[in-house]
Amino acid sequence: MPVNRLETLLHCCIKSKVLKPAKQIHSQLLATGIEMEYGYLSSKLVGVYAGCGDVSSAAKVFESIKKPSVFAWNWMISASTFQGDCENALKYFCQMQKAQGFSNKYTFSCVLKACVGLMDIRKGRELHCMVIKTGFGYEVSVMNSLIDMYSKCGKLEFARKLFDEMRDKNVATWTLMICGYSHKRELEKSLELFEQMKLRGFEPNEFTWNAVITGFSQNEYCDKAFERFCKMKAGGIAPDLVTWNAMISGFTRNHQSEVALMLFRDMLILGPHPNSVTIAGLLPACGFIGSLHAGKAIHGLILRRKLGMNIFMVTALINMYSKCGSVNYALNVFDRTPKSDVAAWNAMIGCYGKHGMVPAAIKLFERMQEENVQPNQVTFTSVLSACSHGGRSGRLTEAYQLVKGMGEEINESIIGAFLNGCRIYGRSDLAMGMAEEILGMDLKKPGGFVNFV
């Protein structure tokens, strides 16, 4: 097959992100030895493997190239960053500088994302200096990446300085700055920029709208979020899944459950298909209003649409059924869930505790240990709270022994749960004993003992 035809096919594989035909081409190249003569084909192979998430294969091909192109270097940097291996991405960048000493605008955009992944503001500022020295300070995409890096690494003032100095801005520039203010809860500045953006002739896209709506909905300004949400739809922009999820979870967290459920119904009719984030954000609304009917309907939708039962949905379902007073339904969810994640155990132990089922909570805690699931501080707090709810002195004594055996793992939540039980049931003797046992430990705020005693 002609070399130019192979190159075209590899380019199509990169665009379509299909691995099988690329592997067939790779086999042909290895069999004929063509890639030794035409190194740019190997660079294309790096792009296919990296773009399809097979970073190890991409790395093997990359290492076989005597003089990698900028294209190949960029793919290794971006693929490593996307896979969460940001340190390796920075290593590739450093090697690239030593090997050939030049980059392009895509290189800087990729490596700045790695700085965000590591929250490495020092490296980010070094890259900023390199951008200026190499003449990429006029590239809008690179400056946008710098604004994004500074915003997400907590240096919003640096991001704003760059933003104000930029002569050429695009919609992404405005959106990134608006997102920065929204994430830092500086909502008035976010909204001010949003309005300025429109006055300067830039039309907000779904990401811009989402930044403003999310900022308001996640910070107890649901009415303002709903107002913007309606304006977005009136402007002809259909809310995407992120926007719907932000609205639903925001109203749920602010205990406006009826509105959250109404939005969910509208989403099913008008919007994209819900995902696990949608469901995990909505289920607490059913618990807040004690609507077992709505909770069961959503559970049924999860099963019908095969959304998958990740740990967030599992714990949300258990907590919802617990708040709706249905321990059996909660247990049914737990029993059908893989038992490897401690969060599911904690949710079920908490469910038993809230309903005064102390023996069941302790039995589940013991079973958890038998199945080699490592308890955490939430587990201990849930067990102690269950003992406190039960109110039986024998159980409080068991809780006392449990806390004593925890050593340095004790935190304020665990202490508070135990002392609350002692306070309710008049067991000052156990509280005093606890104080004597652990006052010598390095606790952040041991004042709780003093206040109780």
Q: What gap in Å lies between CA 227 and CA 164, rounded to an integer?
A: 29
- pLDDT-wise least confident of 54-58, 318-322, 417-421: 417-421
Band of residue 390 on the pLDDT scale cut at 50, 70, 90: low
Q: What pLDDT was estimated at residue 36? A: 53
Q: Closest Cα to residue 116, out of 76, 152, 75? A: 152
Angstrom CA distances, 113 to 77, 122, 144, 295, stand at 10, 14, 11, 39
Band of residue 453 on the pLDDT scale cut at 50, 70, 90: very low
- pLDDT-wise least confident of 11-25, 66-80, 436-450: 436-450
- pLDDT-wise least confident of 75-84, 157-166, 286-295, 402-411: 402-411
Cβ atoms of 219 and 185 closer than 8 Å: yes
Band of residue 125 on the pLDDT scale cut at 50, 70, 90: very high
Q: What pLDDT was estimated at residue 375? A: 80
Q: Supply φ then ψ for residue 301, to 5 degrees.
A: -65, -40
Q: pLDDT at residue 451 above 70? A: no
Q: Closest Cα to residue 22, out of 2, 62, 50, 56? A: 50
- pLDDT-wise least confident of 152-156, 226-230, 379-383, 408-412: 408-412
Q: What gap in Å lies between CA 193 and CA 190, rounded to an integer?
A: 5
Q: What is the tens place of the pLDDT at every residue in 41-72?
A: 888 888 888 988 899 999 998 988 888 889 99
- pLDDT-wise least confident of 3-17, 199-213, 339-353, 380-394: 380-394
Cβ atoms of 348 and 386 closer than 8 Å: no
Q: pLDDT at residue 444 above 60? A: no
The model's pTM is 0.74
For helices 393-404 and 428-438, the axis angle rounded to 10 degrees is 0
Residue corresponding to tokens 């300070």: 137
Q: What gap in Å lies between CA 68 and CA 425, rounded to an integer?
A: 73
